[in-house]
Amino acid sequence: MKSAVCPGSFDPVTYGHLDIIERASAHFDQVIVAVLANRSKSSLFTNEERIAMIRENTKHLPNVVVDSWYGLLVEYCRTHGVTTIVKGLRAVTDFDYELQMAQINYQAARVETMFMATSPTHSFLSSSIVKELAHFGGDVSTMVPPNVDEALRKRVAGK
C-alpha cells in the first residue's frame, strides 16, 4: 500500500490545505494528514481541535486519516513506514523554506517530498492570514469551511 503524509500545523485547516489533501488522496492508497508542531509559530487551537476540524472536512475521503505527532516529521515517517511527503506550494515565497525542509528530510531519512501546485484560487491563503482576519472581525467564510469559521469566531470572542 502506497501511503503519503500531508504534514502541517493546520492551525486551523483552510480550503487551501483541503484542496491539497483531496488531490493527494487521488494519487495514493492512503493519505495521512499529520498535525505537527511548528516551533516558530504559536497556536490558536489545540491539537485535538485541529484534528477534529480536519476530520470533519475529510470524512468524505475514505483513504484519508488524521493523526498528530510531537517530534520530527521524519521520525513519524519512519515509525509509520511512510516514504513520501506531499506539500502544497503556493508561490515562490514558499519555495526556499520548503526546499530546505525537503532536502533535510531526504538527507535524514531518504523520505521524498512531492510538491503540488496550490490551486490559484487558494494561492494567497494561509492559516496566519485567516487568524489575522478573524481576529479583527474580517470575513473568512470563503477561506475556511463552516466548522472552522465558527470555531474561529468563538475563539476570537474568547469562548
Shortest distance (Å) from residue 154 CB to ligand PNS: 22
> Counting beta carbons within 10 angstroms of the beta carbon of residue 7, is it exposed (0 to 12), middle (13 to 18) or buried (19 or more)?
buried
Nearer to ligand PNS, 37 or 62 (CB): 37
Shortest distance (Å) from residue 63 CB to ligand PNS: 21
Cα angle 146, 65, 71 (rounded to 5 degrees) comes to 100
Shortest distance (Å) from residue 13 CB to ligand PNS: 10
Nearest CA to 1 out of 84, 96, 106 is that of 84
Shortest distance (Å) from residue 46 CB to ligand PNS: 15
Q: Cβ distance 72 to 109 under 8 Å?
A: no
Residues in contact with ligand PNS by CB under 6 A are 7-9, 36, 38, 41, 72-73, 101, 104
Active site residue 39: no
Active site residue 23: no
- Residue from 2, 27, 41, 59 carrying the catalytic annotation: 41
Nearest CA to 3 out of 83, 68, 102 is that of 83
Active site residue 127: yes
Nearer to ligand PNS, 24 or 36 (CB): 36
- Residue from 25, 50, 87, 90 carrying the catalytic annotation: 90
Annotate 135-153 with DSSP letters as a single string.
Answer: HTT---TTTS-HHHHHHHH
Active site residue 41: yes
Within 13 Å, how many C-alpha atoms sit on residue 52's CB side?
8
Catalytic residues: 17, 41, 90, 127
